[in-house]
Amino acid sequence: MCHSHNDYWRREPLYSAIHVGCTGVEADVWLFGNELYVAHRTSSIRPNRTLDTLYLSPLKEILDHKNMIPDLLGPGDVINTPRYGIFDTKPRQSLVLLVDFKNKPDEIWNRVDALLAPFRDRRYLTYFNGSDVVSGPLTVVVSGDAPFNRVIENSTYRDIFYDAPLHDLDSLPGIPSLSPPPAAVSNIHVDDMPPSTEPLSQPPADPLSSYSLYNSYYASTSFRRSIGYPFHSSLTQPQLDKIRRQIRAAHARGLKVRYWSIPPWPIGLRDYLWRVLVREGVDYLSVDDIEDVRRKDWGPRKGGWGKKWWR
Residue pLDDT, tens place only, 194-249 = 333 333 334 444 444 489 999 999 999 999 999 999 998 899 999 999 999 999 99
| pLDDT tier, 289 (very low <50, low <70, confident <90, very high otherwise) | confident
Alpha carbon 58 to its chain's center: 18
Query: Regarding predicted confidence, which is higher, 22 or 170?
Result: 22
Query: Is it the case that residue 298 has pLDDT exceeding 70?
Result: no
- Give the H/E segment covering residue 107: helix 105-115
Alpha carbon 215 to its chain's center: 13
Report the predicted TM-score, pTM, of the whole model to 2 decimal places.
Answer: 0.84
pLDDT at 187: 35
Task: Report the topology of domain 2-295.
Answer: TIM Barrel (3.20.20)
pLDDT at 210: 86
Residue pLDDT, tens place only, 253-275 = 999 999 999 998 899 999 999 99
Average pLDDT over residues 49-53: 97
In the three-class reduction of DSSP (H, G, I as helix; E, B as strand; rest coil), residue 16 is classed as helix
pLDDT at 138: 99
pLDDT at 12: 87
Q: Which of 75-89, 133-147, 172-186, 285-299 has the lowest mean pLDDT?
A: 172-186
Residue pLDDT, tens place only, 104-131 = 999 999 999 999 999 999 999 999 999 9
Domains in the chain: boundaries: 2-295
| One-letter identity of residue 244 | R
pLDDT at 163: 98
Burial 170-187 (b: 16+ CB within 10 A, else e): beeeebbebeeebeebee
What is the DSSP track for 240-273?
HHHHHHHHHHHHHTTPEEEEE-----SHHHHHHH
